[in-house]
Amino acid sequence: MDYCWNFNQAGASLHNAFDNMALMDQARKKIGDNTARVWLGGYWNGTSIKWDDNSAPEYNNLQNPNSGYLVLRLSDGKWDIVESGSYATACIGQDPKPQQVFPCDDEWLYSARLKSCYKLIGNFSGFTWPQAHQRCLSLGADLTSIHSDEENRIVVEMADTFLDIQDDFSKWTTACTWIGGKRTGPGKTDFVWTDGTKWDYTKWADNQPDNYGPEGQPWVQIYTTRHNEYGDVDSRYLNKWDDIYDKNGYNAVCKKPAKF
């Protein structure tokens, strides 16, 4: 990682899945090769990670136990251990060049392929669907629409990452995440996205949507991969959607277009 130190920088350290995915997306855009690998600023000694910037080793995405230097695989975001190689280098720290403009605001996840920015919102009481919608609008965004398996995966992984941090949430807050789908009206069978984009992709769970109950089910939630830890819903629901009328508080994912 001497290259980084030559510019008064340190090799990149990664501390959560958000950082990992964001760096992977940025590197893919910069390099233009989704099969490449990128140097990180860390060394694995067989038991723990030592980051160049001396930050705490609080996140780990290693794929093998051998000791060596860390590289990020742009194909899937996993980390490999190598002793040497010719790879691009991810640096952090002071940069003598002009300040770079990023396609998303701070704390938003950027997807270069989808040209969109995502942010998970949540707290210990969660949001009702209308509250989540208003919160996203206040951030200059909207509840996320989903148009592909890739985008569905992004939403699920963001929700799961939040659960890694807030593992003492109530089971229902952790189990579900609001997205921007809603029924077009009481008793209607079709749905729309609140951001106005085309309803061109679905990921409904088995036998959904069903508009169950006397009040109907006007809103759409997504079950995360953590849901089955509580034994409440079987595997047919994992990472899939359900229509619901529920006043309980859930997390939500906001989305807005990237700046460029």
Domain definitions of the chain by residue range = 2-93, 109-257
User: Is 255:178 a contact under the CB 8 Å cutoff?
Assistant: no
176 contact partners, CB below 8 Å, separation of at least 6: 221, 222, 223, 224, 227, 242, 244, 250, 251
DSSP state of 236: G
Note whether 2-93 and 109-257 share their fold. Answer: yes
- What DSSP designation does 215 have? T
What's the CATH architecture for 2-93?
Roll (3.10)
- The C-alpha atoms of residue 61 and residue 14 are separated, in whole angstroms, by 9
Q: Is the dihedral of CA 150, 152, 158, 161 positive or negative?
A: negative
Alpha-carbon distance 88 to 33, whole Å?
Answer: 11
pLDDT (tens place) for every residue of the chain, 260 residues total: 343 534 345 678 888 888 888 888 888 888 888 888 888 888 888 888 888 888 888 888 887 767 888 888 888 888 888 876 666 666 655 443 434 567 888 889 888 889 999 999 986 677 899 999 999 999 999 999 999 999 999 998 888 765 544 444 444 445 689 999 999 998 899 999 999 999 999 999 989 999 998 889 999 999 876 555 555 556 777 899 999 987 677 889 999 999 87
CATH topology of domain 109-257: Mannose-Binding Protein A; Chain A (3.10.100)
For residue 162, how far is the Cα from the chain centroid? 9
**Range list of H helices, 66-165:** 129-138, 149-165
How far apart, in whole angstroms, are the C-alpha atoms of residue 260 and residue 258?
5
C-beta separation of 27 from 36 below 8 A: yes
Which tokens go with 79? 């980390």
In this predicted structure, what is the pLDDT of residue 55?
Answer: 86
Query: CB within 8 A of 115, min separation 6: which ones?
Result: 103, 257, 258
Predicted confidence at residue 194, as pLDDT, reads: 98
**Six-digit token string for 69:** 């230097």
Query: Rounded to an integer, what distance in angstroms lies between the CA atom of residue 124 and that of residue 251?
Result: 9
- What is the predicted pLDDT for the residue at 255? 97
* Residue among 18, 56, 16 nearest 158 (CA): 18
